[in-house]
Amino acid sequence: MVTLGVLDQLPVFRGSTPSQVIQESILLAQSVEDLGYQRFWVAEHHSSGMACASPEILVAAIAAQTKHIRVGSGGVMLPHYSALKVAESFRMLQALFPGRIDIGIGRGLGASPLTRQVLNPREKVDDETYTQQIEDLIGFLHNNFPSDHSYQKIRAMPDGPGAPAFWLLGAGAFGVKIAARLGLSFSFAQFIRPTTEPEILQTYRQTFQPGSFEDKPRAMVTVRVVCAETEEQAQRLARNFWVVNVQRTKESPLSIFKQAGRLPAGEEVDQYHMTGEDEEFMQKNELMMIAGTPTQVKQRLLQLAADYQAEELMILTYIPDFQARLRSYELLAEAFALTPAPALVK
């Protein structure tokens, strides 16, 4: 049976505050732990309508207020940072919560060009530099650089045995290539692609080389989901995502979509009139979301998992109302007959 996890991007909708959204993320993690989800990740975004710019800090808060669910980043945008600093942050988390921490790494930039420049004026995002950063991060997480390596004398702290689980995040061929070559678990971001491409993970499995983290390929797929008691309810809840995204495709988005970094919700969404162009965008990109009743959603998720041969699905649910979002996860847990895992003994 496929296992389920949760990815929270912490969107800040109009009428809410970043502080409220952060507290709701902690509450959501506690709730889905009780429902039987296996892991909970938070994403990194800067100067945007998302509340989490420092996933490692929120990971610590969530892990401290849950019992056994795995907690991690989905992900840290490595080009913004020093590999040593990222390694030490997650080694600290591993020391605090042994056996429960995931480090998800990506380079989907999560910020505007100006914001990226301010984050790291010397940032390079070319393939070679990014690959080297990943290799350095692996070395620091294990503190096992070769004896002739220039970093061999540097110890990432806190030193000691054990490392967080490493997941490379990606949506294309390059991420697959690196994950397979370095022996890393791979998380495929299907939710940002409007097509189903199982050959991506086929390539990953066929080219996988055992490494310091994994001796066999391990893959998950992240999917955007809205689940409700009726199909009509699900489509109504899904509308918020589509309204935001059709606006992002236009050259001059309405001013209401730019106010104070908040995302539209409520009456703004209800009153928005979908144009023919908008409807065409939705049809073209319909695979970016699965919305429906528990039975409908389960059927499509199982088919997706079978197509990709994925061991796990990460579920991203984009609903402004927290109770409706939580209910979506509850319905999905019931459909999959999830059961909570026993608490870890430290």
Contact between 94 and 142 (Cβ < 8 Å): no
Residue 269's contacts (CB-CB under 8 Å, 6 or more residues apart) are 239, 240, 243
- Please state which of the ranges 76-80, 150-154, 278-282, 332-336 shows the lowest mean pLDDT: 278-282
> Could you tell me which CATH class the domain 3-227+292-335 is placed in?
alpha beta
* pTM confidence score: 0.93
Position with higher pLDDT, 287 vs 180? 180
Residue 281's contacts (CB-CB under 8 Å, 6 or more residues apart) are 245, 246, 249
What region, left, alpha or beta, does residue 100 occupy, with left being phi > 0 and alpha being psi -120 to 50 degrees? alpha
Measured CA to CA, the distance from residue 76 to residue 245 in angstroms comes to: 23
Number of Cβ within 10 Å of residue 212's Cβ equals 15
pLDDT value of position 253: 43
Measured CA to CA, the distance from residue 222 to residue 187 in angstroms comes to: 7
**Each residue's pLDDT tens digit, 5-62:** 999 999 999 889 999 999 999 999 999 999 999 999 999 999 888 999 999 999 999 9
pLDDT value of position 342: 66
CA atoms lying within 13 Å on the CB side of residue 138: 21
pLDDT value of position 261: 63
Average pLDDT, the chain: 92
Residue 341 has pLDDT above 80, yes or no: no
Domain locations along the chain: 3-227+292-335
The amino acid at residue 40 is F
In the chain, % of residues over pLDDT 90: 75
pLDDT value of position 117: 85
- Mean pLDDT, range 169-181, rounded to an integer: 96
Sign of CA dihedral 255, 260, 263, 264: negative
